[in-house]
């Protein structure tokens, strides 16, 4: 397949309809970078990136044959078969080192995301950047990046269909001191809520924190009203109360960023 470097084709007139969440992911890609989208689903992010001149070409990968077939059909619809290649792949197993500058992993659980990055580290660490949109284990993803010597360069948070979605852009091996973005909050709070989101006083994060604090206060009030039961039940309530009080403390530490 000939993946050409310049786009000189007559594209179909209709726009690529991405959700706000996926627009945020696409918006973090460095212009001119070749992209590898792992878990590409129907291929609309690579299509958007190439169609809008952000990426000269892209690799769309998925472990499922069905989504990959759908991606192929959409790529043909936009006359982009010379610029976007699809590959059946578990993680980046079908990627060769140096083929892509940007890794996109979006819409998957944090555990799977960490597995993909760990198993493919010999290829991924040669890329310029990774753009991640985890659906779970957000704190664990940030801890993983920090421990694997990735520096978080940018973050955003999207509220879509009443759900909150963080998007993280990181680059490997910069050697920069991550602690410079943490003050006055501690590392745990930074991992939970995002060093750049806190630094930017992201308004969507602020809404999330306020909602979480209200929920914690409601749970705490219920626990304090509860009475009776045996010693085991009482001990369980005490542990739960301490857990919720700890969450409130972390939320308040994060909210302190928005007071300046």
Residue that terminates a domain, selected from 154, 176, 198: 176
Average pLDDT of the chain, as a whole number: 90
Residue 123 maps to a domain = yes
- Identify the CA nearest to 248 among candidates 205, 218, 224, 223: 218
pLDDT at 12 over 60: no
Residue 9 belongs to some domain of the structure: no
Domain identity same for 140 and 214: no
Does 132 lie in the same domain as 198? no
pLDDT score at 234: 81
Q: Which of 234, 219, 107 is nearest to 163 (CA)?
A: 107
What digits encode the pLDDT tens for the residues 139-188? 999 999 999 999 999 999 999 999 999 999 999 985 555 555 444 448 99
The pLDDT of residue 225 is 83
165 shares its domain with 50: yes
| Same domain (yes/no): 169, 193 | no
In this structure, is residue 257 part of a structural domain? yes
In a domain, 101, yes or no: yes
Instruction: Check residue 17 and give its pLDDT.
Output: 82
51 with 143, same domain: the answer is yes
The number of domains in the chain is 2
Instruction: Read off the CATH number of the domain in which 44 is found.
Output: 3.40.50.150
Angle 190-195-201 from CA coordinates, rounded to 5°: 110
- CATH number of the domain within which 252 lies: 1.10.287
Sheet order of strands, 150-160 included: 84-88, 58-62, 35-38, 102-108, 129-134, 163-172, 150-160
DSSP bridge pairs for 35: 58, 102
In a domain, residue 92? The reply is: yes
Token code pair at residue 30: 């460095």
Residue that terminates a domain, selected from 123, 155, 176 = 176
Residues 197 and 106 in one domain: no
Is the pTM value of this prediction over 0.85? Answer: yes
Q: Can you tell me the distance from the alpha carbon of 66 to that of 98, in angstroms, rounded to the nearest whole number?
A: 27
Looking at the structure, tell me whether residues 169 and 45 fall in a common domain: yes
Q: Residue 97: which domain range?
A: 20-176
- pLDDT level of residue 232 (50, 70, 90 thresholds): confident
User: Where a domain ends, among 156, 176, 196?
Assistant: 176
Let me know whether 205 and 134 are in one domain.
Answer: no
Q: For residue range 15-45, list pLDDT tens digits in order.
A: 778 999 999 999 999 999 999 999 998 999 9
């Amino acid at each position: 397949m000939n993946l050409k470097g310049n786009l000189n084709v007559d594209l179909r007139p209709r726009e690529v309809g991405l959700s706000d969440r996926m627009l945020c992911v696409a918006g973090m890609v460095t212009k001119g970078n070749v992209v590898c989208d792992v878990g590409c689903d129907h291929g609309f992010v690579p299509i958007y990136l190439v169609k809008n001149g952000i990426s000269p070409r892209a690799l769309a990968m998925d472990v499922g044959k069905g989504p990959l077939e759908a991606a192929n059909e959409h790529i043909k619809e936009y006359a982009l078969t010379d610029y976007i290649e699809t590959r059946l792949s578990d993680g980046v197993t079908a990627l060769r080192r140096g083929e892509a500058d940007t890794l996109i992993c979006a819409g998957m659980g944090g555990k799977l995301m960490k597995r993909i990055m760990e198993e493919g580290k010999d290829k991924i660490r040669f890329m310029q950047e990774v753009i991640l949109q985890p659906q779970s284990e957000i704190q664990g993803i940030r801890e993983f990046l920090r421990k694997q010597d990735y520096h978080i360069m940018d973050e955003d948070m999207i509220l879509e269909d009443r759900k909150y979605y963080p998007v993280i852009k990181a680059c490997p091996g910069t050697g920069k001191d991550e602690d410079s973005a943490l003050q006055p909050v501690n590392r745990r709070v930074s991992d939970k809520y995002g060093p750049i989101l806190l630094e930017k006083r992201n308004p969507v994060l602020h809404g999330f924190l306020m909602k979480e604090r209200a929920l914690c206060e409601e749970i705490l009030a219920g626990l304090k009203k509860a009475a009776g039961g045996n010693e085991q039940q009482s001990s369980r309530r005490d542990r739960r109360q301490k857990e919720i009080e700890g969450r409130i403390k972390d939320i308040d530490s994060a909210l302190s960023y928005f007071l300046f």
